Amino acid sequence: MSSPFNNYMPTVLATLVGLSPDLARLLAACNRVQYLLWALLGIRQVDKWGRRNTLIFGAMVQCFCYIIITSLLRYNELPGYPNSQQVASASVAFFFLYYVFFGIGMQGIPWLYPTEINSLTMRTKGAALGAATNWILNFMAVEITPIGIQNLGWRFYIVWIALNAAMVPAVYFFYPETAGRTLEDIDEYYRTDPPLLVFRDKEAISRKRPERYRIKEEEIIRKNGVGATTDPAIEMTKKDGSEDIQHQENVGT
């Protein structure tokens, strides 16, 4: 979750870290710029690294950053602590580091993954539900963040430690890989009645496209003939019998 601290970062830096309002706003602006640049790197590398690995690694580093931030802010709130300035500076550094890995790993994939992982019949509904859930949770987080900071102080960050930590096993056990697959491959994957826990299925978690999908696609192309543009997904759906789709071939002239 980025939005609450992205929106309230000047407040966090001024209230919990103890920076001046002007410096807090300047650092928050710099953070947004570097966060954008790292997000662009994530866009370029997400197919190479895979969705699962990117999410897992990002959540692990984010959890680590929040553990350090929480510990530093705890000492910063101690009355008369002699090294409060050094602790405050270190916490700012880990805020920036957190957003480096959020931009790379968590910024884009939660919006991308729902459009990829759903089957043909559920893709539009799944993508809409995923986007709605993202916005609702971000809205909720933005609403509770100032209340949490005011009432809990440094303890409020324990919530985000737990959420990031929970993300790691959730992705590892339940999220199939979608990198290297076509949308038709995802449909074919569901026709095999896959298990709920995917971590033991090497094909489901591989970053490379499984060979059987490539062979299936070549068979459909050979069957339709050279120049035909029949969609493999429609051909597979016809064979499966799960959906009645009318299709018109466009033969090159």
pLDDT over 70 (residue 22): yes
Mean pLDDT of the 100-120 span: 90
Interval 43-51 mean pLDDT: 90
* Tokens at 209, concatenated: 């496209």
Q: How far apart are CA 118 and CA 218, in angstroms?
A: 23
Predicted confidence band at 231 (pLDDT cuts at 50, 70, 90)? low
Average pLDDT, stretch 21-47? 89
Contact present, 160 and 1 (Cβ < 8 Å): yes
Q: Given this model, what pLDDT does residue 253 score?
A: 40
Extract the tokens encoding 2. 């980025």
Phi, psi of 130 (to 5 degrees): -65, -45
